Chains A and B, each alone.
Chain A
Amino acid sequence: MDEVFLQALLLTDSTIRLATPLVLAALAGLFAERSGVVDIGLEGKMLGAAFAAASTAAVTGSAWLGLAAAIGFSIFLAMVHGFACITHRGNQVVSGMALNIMVAGLGPTLAEAWFRQGGRTPLLGEDARFEPIVLPFADELRGVPVLGPIYAEVISNHNILVYVMAAAVVVVAWVVYRTRFGLRLRAVGENPSAVDTAGISVAWMRYKALVVTGLLCGIAGTYLSIAHNASFIRDMTAGKGYLALAALIFGKWRPVPALFACFLFAFTDAVQIRLQGVPLPLIGPVPTQAIQALPYLATVLLLAGFVGRAVAPKAIGQPYVKER
């Protein structure tokens, strides 16, 4: 019993760790897409932020400066996306793809030029990373049955960005549904001409949404390179941006369902890591690739309407042309 309980705790713990970047990126995507701008560039923004965070932290030795650099670079990329898609009404998918590819090359290029370690950044020491925080009384309460270990293993002992992620979900849900900005954000993605008629600038609203997208992707990338890991590695996002996009669609463009989708995807990932080579009762050993493919397969099935229906914001992907 104790063994099962401990395993469940560890599994939950690693699910939280794996879900953090997904949740942050999915919330980032929510702002862009709810405002009517398709963003397949989550991947690139996260990767760029991961590089900015790791290289800044390596040079300055400060994790907080790393975070600032990551957010700055990620917002810059979001603004390039906005400049192409909002100002010049370019194709939003093409722009996102372009940024993904550019960043995939830029990180290793700069890392190689600056640090000469084969396209990665130097390993960071403890000071330059976001270290796990032991919440008050975690060790003292460990002896309390059931709740003690849950508090010590699952809730305590994460780095600060995990708690930021938890707070972000609440804040985003509140902003999107309970504030004037949120109302306008949702309106601009559904019916931009109505928003325009009300005297609000569609372009300015969409730029503001993209700034938030950049901010959240910046935190997600920082988490990857200087909290979860200790350096930037080539292609370290490994499709997490696309997975977050899938989770966003899976959550039907709403914050809390998207959160659950991210945790579901992260859970399959955590299980997959644990199941490598372990035979399951009745089924035998499950190929890890099959489990890895599950989130993508689930998203395809959802999009095809085989499991529920995902309806995108109505004006998504369409550049807004003001009536002349």
Chain B
Amino acid sequence: MAARSGELPGWVNLGLLPLLNLAAAFLVSGLIVLFLGENPLEAVRLLIFGAFGYAEAIGYTLFYATSFIFTGLAVAIAFHCGLFNIGGEGQAYVGGLGVTLVGLYLGWLPWLLVVPLAILAAAVFGGFWAFIPGWLQARRGSHVVITTIMFNFLAAALMTYLLVNVLIAPGQQIPESETLPQSAWLPQMHEVMAALGIEIARSPLNLSFLFALICCVLVWLFVWHTRYGYALRVVGQNETAAVYGGISPARQIMLAMTISGALAGFVALNMILGAQHRLTLDFTGGFGFVGIAVALMGRNHPVGIILASLLFGALYQGGSELSFDMPALSRDLVVVIQGLVILFAGALEHMFRPYLEALFARPAPAEAVA
């Protein structure tokens, strides 16, 4: 999984290559728009306006980006350990259960206590749902890709059962939990800003955006500046070397999966505590899968992940605006673009590499040739 850095200069490897891949994905998306009988350039203009054109739109773009930062970090940290966690969706869903339980049963506590407890619950529940596949991979040798897929379905079955039979608000037909008490809500940005005397547009953007940025810093510190992060990357690069260096791959695999699941679980903070204030069916809405695209685009680095999350946040928000203006383009087009980005930035990441190597490769130093 590790990006082969080859002999390309850093800016080509980290900048130009991802941009080329992205351009290829957008080119194919443009052809689909053309095929549907709309003008791609006009569509891009509407999309950008829909995502950044006015204050409310920017709020929504950042709101979506917040969830994508969490799932992107989740996928990335597993990648660093050589694991592919496709279970972000299920982990976020189960994380939502933790958050909801804290909100429903401990909501009477003061805000300053409830919110940290909710964060902890999201991490514990999401982390637990990823720990099991991690443990199965580390100790029983079952492949984490298949088990996390299975755990997505298990999470869906579990949550549907709980929502339909246990957590459903009394006297309700729709499987939704009761609204959480206000002491468990994360303040939305327009409220925070209003308290500071600044007027900004209303949107579901909430404090978890700042928490997502903090998580980026923490992940960066953890992966590149701690012993555990180092051990994790060694396992990802070369398990044999890790064992030789006295690192237990099994422990690192379980650690990486648990952190990954905890990060995915934080999606629930943004969606439940920050926006809808109750647990609903499928509140994760595919965000776990977007995390794969985000991590691949962002080259598994927090800075890249923030940029990629902004891109996908803009696609989500702009895409729904676009479907109002161009009825031929439904919201599902965004999903197509997302798939194409994963295809070109992930699976076909080496497609342009030989050409770039021919263009930019530095001549090898003389002693290396000899």
Contact = CB atoms under 8 A, between A and B. Distances in A.
Interface of A: 38, 40, 80, 83-85, 88-95, 97-110, 112-113, 119, 234, 239, 242, 245-246, 249, 287, 289-290, 292-293, 296-297, 299-300, 303-306, 312
Given A85-B347, A287-B161, A287-B165, A300 B147 contact: yes
Contact of B292 (A88, A97, A99, A110): A97
Contacts of A84: 343, 347-348
Contact of A289 (B84, B157, B339): B157
Interface size class of B (residues with CB under 8 A): 35 or more
B221 interface: no
B150 interface: yes
Contacts of B293: 101
Nearest to A94: B346
Contact of A105 (B136, B145, B338): B338
Contacts of B338: 101-102, 105
Contacts of A293: 153-154, 157-158
Given A97-B292, A287-B161, A304-B140, A91 B330 contact: no
Interface in B148-174: 149-151, 153-154, 157-158, 160-161, 164-165
A98 B84 CA distance: 14
B136 A99 contact: no
A84 B346 CA distance: 9
Given A100-B339, A106-B336, A296-B153, A303 B347 contact: no
B351 A88 contact: yes
Tell me the dominant secondary structure on chain A's binding face: helix
A98 B28 CA distance: 14
Contact of A296 (B154, B161, B330, B349): B154
B329 interface: yes
B153 A90 contact: no
A305 B343 contact: no
Contacts of A296: 150-151, 153-154, 157
Contact of B346 (A98, A110, A306): A98
Contact of B333 (A83, A90, A97, A109): A109
Contact of A94 (B32, B160, B292): B292
Top 4 nearest A-B pairs by Cβ distance?
A102-B339, A105-B335, A95-B347, A303-B142
Given A97-B342, A119-B330, A289 B158 contact: yes
B42 to A, nearest CB: 16
B94 interface: no
Given A109-B336, A242-B149, A101 B342 contact: yes
Contact of B147 (A83, A89, A292, A303): A303
A249 B146 contact: yes
A98 B342 contact: yes
B328 interface: yes
A197 B292 CA distance: 37
A13 to B, nearest CB: 26
B279 interface: no
B77 to A, nearest CB: 17
B347 A102 contact: no
Interface centre among A249, A289, A306 (most CB of B within 10 A): A289
B335 A90 contact: no
B1 interface: yes
Nearest to B36: A113
B143 interface: yes
B334 interface: yes
A271 to B, nearest CB: 15
A172 B86 CA distance: 31
Contacts of B160: 289
A90 B349 contact: yes
15 contacts: A88-B351, A89-B350, A91-B346, A95-B343, A97-B292, A99-B343, A102-B340, A108-B330, A112-B328, A112-B330, A242-B153, A287-B165, A296-B157, A300-B150, A304-B140
A103 B150 contact: no
Given A113-B330, A289-B160, A304 B346 contact: no
Contact of A40 (B145, B158, B332): B145
A234 B100 CA distance: 29
Interface string B260-302: 0000000000000000000000000000010011001000000
Contact of B161 (A80, A98, A290, A306): A290
B336 A98 contact: no
Contacts of B181: none
B257 to A, nearest CB: 14
